[in-house]
Amino acid sequence: MPRFDLRNKGQAGVPFYTPAQEPAAGTAAHPAAAPTLFQPLRMRGVELHNRFVVSPMCQYSADNGHLTDFHLVHLGQFALNGAGLVVVEASAVEPRGRISPQDAGLWTDSQMAPLRRIVDFAHSQNTRAGIQLAHADRKASTLAPWIRGSAEKALADEAHGGWPGDVVGPSAIPFSESHAAPRGLSVDDIKGLVQSFAESAVRAVKAGFDVIEIHGAHGYLITSFLSPLSNERTDDYGGSFENRTRFLREVVVAVRAVIPADMPLWLRISATEWIEHAGAPSWDLGQSIRLAKLLPAWGIDVLDVSSGGNNSQQQISRQKTYQTDLAREIRRALRADGIDLLISTVGFIDDAEFARDVVQEGPEQSADLALSARQFLRDPQWVLNAAHKLNVPVKWPNQYHHAEPKEVHDAFLYRAKW
């Protein structure tokens, strides 16, 4: 008869007792036979136990940039229920870089403590934690979406905690009539912002994060530099492709220099502005592919493909594959040149079969990682439920074992295996 370990062993490396999840919830019983979606993936010194990633989701619930117990519960449920990586929402590298007065930040040391609680909880579930570093640029100082109600009421004025007179951008071009008129950044301002990203990255490392993502999508600061529609500068940061990508390169290089060598660094971009119909030069898929081929040399490990958000006149094609198609085109172009940059993508990944197909190894593979936001809000147990839908037995949280499906119980009958 086998000798079972009867201890309710605690999870190592966290400052509180909780039963060890070994392996993590969401781990396939037989990874080699499972769809790619449930196979592990290594990035530098970090391994994810599956390809499900909780995408950064602004919650407009921070207190002067500090996360609260709301965020601990909000994000903790996804770590508990099997996601391979949980990414904290866009966190501003300076106060005026927030989207709203209630957005998260990492511009001061006091903001590390609540973030550390979230990291510790994710680690207590044997799950990895990431954070997205961001600057809202000309889309800053806006009201929470459930308050503004319409685009015409987007701006948060001083009476409501906003800073409409201190919004900045590469050029003095507002995002829309309902947003603040930005002030064009000086070269000294730009150098200061590069340093702000690096300083926030240092804080993210001290807070214990496993992954850092630089937010270069959706019309925020880096996107505004990339696009000739929002960047009309005539100095070294505007005009040519090389100049418009200069700020991004400087941020990436600065962040890479201050984080551990084994820490993965991600970049999210908008692969297109969806403004080709206007006939004017804009940021498009071709430039995204050109950029992607440069990223490994800069120190990026994962390119996170999204789209849009930089122009209020965008016309987005809303079929289910509208963003995964972009990711696949970028991934194919990279592989054709022998470049192994990992690709993640997001957008309408809200059912098990589609998530499986997006990352399934083969000629039609769109990405290496599947990011979801709204689907996790609808179903915090989506990883476990998707596994059930796809007939993949996966580990459930120890404390929830009474609720696991029969096939999971049968696959892991002798729980001491874990």
CB 66 within 8 A of CB 36: no
Which residue in this structure is represented by tokens 């050109």?
A: 290
Q: Residue-wise over 163-189: b if at least 16 C-beta within 10 A, else e?
A: bbeebbbbbebbbeeebbebeebeeee
The burial of 312, by beta-carbon neighbours within 10 Å (0-12 exposed, 13-18 middle, 19 or more buried), is given as middle
CB 140 within 8 A of CB 97: yes
In three-state secondary structure terms, 292 is: helix
* Residue from 17, 60, 220, 400 carrying the catalytic annotation: 220
Give the count of alpha carbons within 13 A of 388, CB side only. 14
In three-state secondary structure terms, 321 is: coil
DSSP state of 31: G
366 is written with which tokens? 């769109």
71 is written with which tokens? 């965020």
266 is written with which tokens? 């991600």
Nearest partner of 358 among 387, 378, 328, judged by Cα = 328
193 is written with which tokens? 């912002």
User: In Å, what is the CA distance from 188 to each residue of 71, 185, 195, 407?
Assistant: 35, 8, 11, 61
Nearest partner of 294 among 261, 259, 248, 229, judged by Cα = 248
Nearest partner of 264 among 298, 300, 296, 305, judged by Cα = 300
In three-state secondary structure terms, 301 is: coil
Residue 220 annotated as catalytic: yes
Catalytic residues: 220
